[in-house]
């Protein structure tokens, strides 16, 4: 997976290459012009892992947070977190994206299940069956597969549900299993190229 730019993100979402946790976060960010703290952490580390460089990440979030958060306020209150995730602040550690297990166990998230700003999380865990059906239909997931995904999610097999959704959306099985959101993305990009 190579480097990507902020300008490519909308196309990647429209191309259905993001797992559900990240596509709903992208949409909610676009409509609310804000993410709560853990949502921003989860999403920016994912974008880093799929090849978005720091400067492009700052550009993207600054644009998305506007006009609700003016650029100077963004620079003061949010840029630090993004720079931190890229190892440019604080401990200067090269942080990795959150694993699915970490996202699933994220207590304060809700994966945009409620209205308003999003705070991260896995929709296969936090969405109602109805919300899940609606979200997957919007991604043109095959109807029969949607029923299987909802069953898996009800049985608390969230990562298996995500893998099945991949198959229902792309028409091809995801063979390796999904342990990190970037694995979903990489498999989807591989199919498309």
Burial (CB < 10 A; 0-12, 13-18, 19+), residue 135, is: buried
- The number of residues making up the chain comes to 193
Nearer to ligand SF4, 85 or 182 (CB): 182
Q: At closest approach, how far in Å is the CB of 106 from ligand SF4? A: 9
Residues that bind ligand SF4 (CB under 6 A): 19-21, 100, 103-104, 122-124, 158-159, 162, 178, 181, 184
Closer to ligand SF4 by Cβ: residue 136 or 162: 162
Compute how many other C-beta atoms are within 10 angstroms of the C-beta atom of residue 165: 29
Q: What sign has the CA pseudo-torsion 109, 58, 81, 48?
A: positive
The minimum distance between CB 23 and ligand SF4, in angstroms, equals 9
| Cβ 76 vs Cβ 154: under 8 Å | no
From residue 122, give the alpha-carbon distance in Å to each of 36, 45, 104. 15, 15, 5
Shortest separation between residue 69's beta carbon and ligand SF4, angstroms: 26
CB of 58 to ligand SF4, least distance (A): 24
- Give whichever of 21 and 57 is closer to ligand SF4, judged by the CB atom: 21
Query: Considering beta carbons, is residue 59 or 160 the nearer one to ligand SF4?
Result: 160
Q: Measured from the CB atom, is 50 or 79 closer to ligand SF4?
A: 50
User: Which phi and psi (to 5°) does residue 84 adopt?
Assistant: -60, -45
- Output the DSSP codes for 39-55: HHHHHHHHHHHTT--HH
CB-CB contact of 76 with 51 (8 Å): no
Query: In the complex, what is the shortest distance from the CB of residue 68 to ligand SF4, in angstroms, rounded to a whole number?
Result: 26
């Amino acid at each position: 997976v190579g480097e990507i730019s902020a300008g490519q993100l909308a196309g990647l979402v429209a191309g259905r290459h993001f797992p559900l946790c990240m596509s709903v976060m992208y949409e909610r960010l676009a409509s609310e012009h804000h993410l709560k703290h853990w949502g921003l952490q989860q999403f920016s580390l994912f974008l880093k892992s799929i090849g978005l460089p720091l400067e492009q990440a700052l550009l993207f979030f600054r644009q998305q947070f506007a006009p609700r958060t003016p650029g100077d306020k963004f620079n003061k209150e949010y840029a630090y977190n993004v720079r931190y995730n890229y190892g440019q602040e604080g401990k200067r550690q090269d942080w990795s994206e959150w694993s699915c297990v970490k996202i699933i166990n994220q207590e304060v998230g809700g994966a945009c299940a409620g209205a308003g700003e999003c705070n991260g999380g896995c929709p296969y865990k936090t969405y109602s069956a109805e919300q899940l059906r609606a979200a997957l239909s919007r991604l043109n997931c095959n109807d029969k597969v949607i029923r299987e995904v909802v069953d898996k999610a009800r049985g608390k097999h969230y990562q298996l549900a995500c893998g099945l959704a991949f198959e229902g959306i792309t028409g091809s099985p995801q063979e390796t299993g999904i342990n990190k959101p970037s694995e979903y993305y990489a498999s989807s990009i591989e199919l498309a190229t």
